[in-house]
Chains A and B, each alone.
Chain A
Amino acid sequence: MEALILTIIATSIPLLLAATGELIAEKSGVLNLGVEGMMLSGAVGALGAVLWLENPYYGIIAGALSGILMASIFSLFTINFMTNQVATGLGLTIFATGLTGLAGAPLVGKTIPSLPKIEIFLLSDIPLIGSILFKQDFVAYLSIGIIIFISFFLKYSKSGIILRAVGDDHQSAHSVGYPVKKIRWYTTCFGGMCAGIGGAYIPLVLTPHWSEGMTAGRGWIALALVVFASWIPWRIIVGALIFGGITIAQLVGQARGWPIPSQLLSMMPYIATIIALTMISGRLSKNNSVVPSSLGKPFFGSQ
């Protein structure tokens, strides 16, 4: 049981990180559909860096930088050149899929060392809870740290309120004098960083080698998670664990011989996404305040 819970947590972390980053971007009004692409770049960047420098921690940094690089491309087009965000995001994912395939070709078949687990003194000795909560790798702690940080940041800090203002009504925010474009550059790059680290987690912890398109749709699930969480940070943790849980549950079901077709079980995470989307959109018609009002709209102001 303990091993299963650990596997579920490990599966959830890339989703958790990518969704958190996307949440911040969306809160400021940027809809970046390039999450999948940014995760892939993070994965290939991390692998390359670890093969080169032989220390898994550099992989986290490289993953973050690769994600930021991809996000900068997106920002440049959507914020400065004011292109359509949906089209640009899709384009970014397609571009990154090809680019990472090319960059990853020499990495095929190479293995890297995994991120070590960090045990927290004494706490990690508590039975069950200890090994689940206090015997994780650095990125796992980091992702929880980021969630706690942005929860408070969005709610209580002045910068967080400005960020939300930009996402809710960029014209007003602009007229009050806030630099809409600059803020969106920051949030998009933060999103890219989180997605990059999330992508890096896949080769660093889950399976230590490269294969083309190895994120296998996790970026899209992360996008759905943001909606599932109705833009509230802590709910992403719940959502990510549910998605991770379903992914693993279908494998457990097969191993234990539950009489459910494996193809149906493989579908479950995606069905859950659709149900979540339907439920949320049902709620949206009643209460519109959940979605950042300027989400996906380009800002034509001067800065």
Chain B
Amino acid sequence: MIKFCMRIFSLIAFSISVLFFVISNAFAGSPTKVGFVYLTTPGDHGWTYAHELGKQMVEKRFGKDVKVSVVENVPEGPDATRVIRELAKQGNEIIFTTSFGYMEPTLKVAKEFPNVKFEHITGYKRSKNVATGNIRFYEGRYIQGVVAGLMTKTNKIGYIGAYPIAEVIMGINAFAQGLKSVNKDASISVIWANTWYDPVKEADAAKVHIAEGADVLAQHTDSPAMLQIAEKNGAMGFGQSTDMSAFAPKAQLFASINNWGPYYIKKIEELRNGKWNTGDGPNHWPGNVWGGIKSDMLVISKFQNMPANVAQKAQEALDGIKTGKINIFAGPLIDNTGKEIIPAGKALDDGALWGMNYYLQGVNGKVPG
């Protein structure tokens, strides 16, 4: 009898606790589940680390209202499809895929999970539930060009590019525009590394640039190797994605810092309010979100290792971009073969930027391919 009572009692106690749990959850509102896919381990510099900082801002802003899952070190390709699908299966409501190469995998999984929202970073294809987000990296490169033009003594600038795609080419051209605005004699040589991240190759490319006489280096690859080589050889350079002055305290002039946090927060907020959308720009235009210096998605670190007058010019360029006074790709634009791209009085629109397959004046050589 006592045993029976005990059983009944424990059953009641159990039901009450379950009931309580359910009720308390219902009132608190279940957290929004957010997934992130990273290309590498975040470490403490570069592309993925910038996304990691964004993710941390999300966690700080929403606290218990979001539940974040991250998968690191996901190679671009079939593995990515598997990982993204797994995140969708686990009930994540919005998934950020943070590298260009996840474009097709994201679209593929999005088709299988029409109720999950996907945000693909730096891609140009969208669907009903895939939005894209990107940063106007080229704005920072214009300022780099201004600083490089004033700092170079040899008038030779070494540029290390990852792949000859529009995003990288528009960066080189923006750099050339900044360079031209202060120094008409300087020119840019480009070495394509054909990789986003290979410190050894990036270091070799930097050494070759310096051996060829370049004294200011810029990069559109992810490792701090170039800056370290510059530091060792008395050259100067710019940090990529995050502040890299720790790697090159004497060589870094400034860094263009990617600030993804506000964008992540905005999109998650939209989702929670039921207002999430994929924007309405033409399909080939990357991004319903394509923010730059004005919207704080691109942040310029402090100007260092340069004389005050150079820092002042850099600040002017920064302010000019912020206020819209400087339009980087305003005509007349002439490519480096002498062909006119756009006449005076007009300016390239966003669509034209994503079609860039030429170098502007001030860049040596030819776009490969």
Contact = CB atoms under 8 A, between A and B. Distances in A.
B86 interface: no
A274 interface: no
B200 A109 contact: no
A263 interface: yes
B210 interface: yes
B276 to A, nearest CB: 34
A159 interface: no
Contacts of A211: 197-199, 223
Interface stretch (B38-46, B60-68, B95-103, B147-155): B38-46
Contact of B366 (A108, A114, A216, A259): A259
A23 B211 CA distance: 33
B208 to A, nearest CB: 4
Given A211-B198, A256-B189, A206 B208 contact: no
Nearest to A249: B208
A266 B194 contact: yes
Given A214-B199, A251-B208, A255-B212, A207 B228 contact: yes
Interface stretch (A3-11, A147-155, A219-227): A3-11
A69 B212 CA distance: 41
B232 A254 contact: no
A1 B191 CA distance: 18
A172 interface: no
B199 A7 contact: no
Nearest to B229: A207
Nearest to B207: A7
Contact of A7 (B198, B204, B223, B369): B204
Contact of A261 (B73, B208, B209, B369): B369
Contacts of B223: 207, 209, 211
Interface string B163-201: 000000000000000000000000001111010011111
Contact of A207 (B208, B211, B225, B246): B225
B158 interface: yes
A275 interface: no
A177 interface: no
B211 A108 contact: no
B279 interface: no
A208 interface: yes
B225 A255 contact: no
B199 A256 contact: no
A42 to B, nearest CB: 14
Interface string B136-162: 000000000000000000000010000
A58 to B, nearest CB: 20
A207 B203 contact: yes
B44 A108 contact: yes
A216 B208 contact: no
B191 A251 contact: yes
A71 interface: no
A111 B210 CA distance: 21
A261 B204 CA distance: 18
Interface in A154-213: 202, 206-209, 211-212
A257 B199 contact: no
Nearest to B232: A114
A72 B89 CA distance: 44
B225 A256 contact: no
Contacts of B54: none
B365 A254 contact: yes
A7 B200 CA distance: 12
B247 interface: yes
A7 B189 contact: no
Contact of A254 (B191, B200, B202, B210): B191
A97 interface: no
Contacts of B198: 211, 214, 216
B210 A3 contact: yes
Contacts of B207: 3, 7
A248 interface: yes
B239 interface: no
A109 B52 CA distance: 14
B156 to A, nearest CB: 9
A211 B221 CA distance: 14
Interface string B207-236: 111111010000000011100110010000
A36 to B, nearest CB: 14
Contacts of A4: 208, 211
B48 to A, nearest CB: 10
Interface string B97-114: 000000000000000000
A247 B207 CA distance: 12
Most buried by B among A207, A216, A257: A207
Given A3-B207, A257-B364, A262 B200 contact: no
Interface in B19-59: 40-41, 43-45, 49
Contacts of B246: 111
A247 B204 contact: yes
A9 to B, nearest CB: 11
A216 B194 CA distance: 13
Interface in A239-275: 247-248, 251-252, 254-257, 259, 261-263, 266
A109 B368 contact: no
Contacts of A216: 198, 200-201
A105 interface: yes
Nearest to B214: A255
Most buried by B among A111, A251, A259: A251
B251 interface: no
9 contacts: A3-B210, A7-B211, A108-B43, A109-B49, A207-B229, A214-B198, A257-B364, A257-B365, A259-B366
The 6 closest A-B pairs by CB, nearest first: A3-B211, A108-B43, A257-B365, A109-B44, A109-B43, A207-B203
Interface of B: 40-41, 43-45, 49, 73, 158, 189-192, 194, 197-205, 207-212, 214, 223-225, 228-229, 232, 246-247, 364-366, 368-369
Given A7-B211, A111-B228, A211-B197, 12 more contacts: A108-B43, A109-B45, A109-B49, A111-B247, A207-B202, A208-B228, A211-B223, A251-B204, A255-B189, A256-B189, A262-B192, A263-B194
